[in-house]
Amino acid sequence: MSKNPVSRRQFLSYTLTGVGGFMAAGILMPMVRFAVDPVLKTEAGGDYHATKLKVSDLTDQPQKIDFTYEQVDAWYKSNVTQTAWVYKDSKGDIVALSPICKHLGCTVNWNANKDHPNQFYCPCHGGRYEKNGKNVPGTPPAKPLDTYPTKVKDGYLYLGKPEANVFVK
Ligand code: FES
């Protein structure tokens, strides 16, 4: 009988199993992490995106601004550009409206129809909105334009995710 409690064959078997397991873990862990990690990350809900507009440049006339940010959808990253119509109301509050028509999703423009001045006009089916985004009765849209939540940081305007209009009561 051998003095060694572990035979040469067993030692080799244990060693190969250990090294093989270690190597397999090293290969599989990054793959598992790549597949699962983006799904587990919380959505950046409520995030605000920087615009290039200084709040001091806002007037009482709606102005169109575009802003771009990086969007991460699971493991796919892309740059998204959005548009807002922004102005200061009579109380000094910043109003930022989505340009997406609530009828069928065309893009509205301010003062675009000379027959209906000082309104947002949708060229697709003649939808109209008042300055605060309220839909004009008798035109196709059934709801007011959405608004972006706003934030000011270092003098610049930041916009959140569009939500139901908070300026139309
Ligand atoms: S999409 Fe704007 S009025 Fe129809």
Give the range of the structural domain holding residue 1, as residue numbers without chain letter: 1-41
pLDDT band at residue 40 under the 50/70/90 scheme: low
Ligand 1 binding pocket mutation candidate from 98, 104, 113 (most atoms within 8 A of CB):
104
My answer on whether 108 and 29 are in the same domain is no
Whether residue 167 is contained in a domain is answered as no
My answer on whether 80 and 130 are in the same domain is yes
At 68-112, the pLDDT tens digits run 999 888 889 999 999 999 999 999 999 999 999 999 999 999 999
My answer on whether 105 and 146 are in the same domain is yes
Ligand 1 binding pocket mutation candidate from 120, 125, 129, 135 (most atoms within 8 A of CB):
125
Q: How many Å is the maximal CA-CA distance in the chain? A: 107
At 110-157, the pLDDT tens digits run 999 999 999 999 999 999 999 999 999 999 999 999 999 999 999 999
> How many residues belong to the chain?
169
Please report the atom of ligand 1 found closest to the CA of residue 101: 2
Amino acid symbol at 37: D
d(CA 103, CA 166): 19
At 6-21, the pLDDT tens digits run 788 888 888 999 888 8
My answer on whether 63 and 141 are in the same domain is yes
My answer on whether 83 and 145 are in the same domain is yes
Ligand 1 center–CA 137 separation, angstroms = 13
My answer on whether 125 and 100 are in the same domain is yes
Ligand 1 center–CA 58 separation, angstroms = 28
My answer on whether 147 and 64 are in the same domain is yes
Neighbours of 65 (CB within 10 A): 18
Total domains in the chain come to 2
Is the model's pLDDT at 2 over the cut of 70?
A: no
Query: What does the DSSP assignment read for 80-99?
Result: EEEEEEEEE-TTS-EEEE--
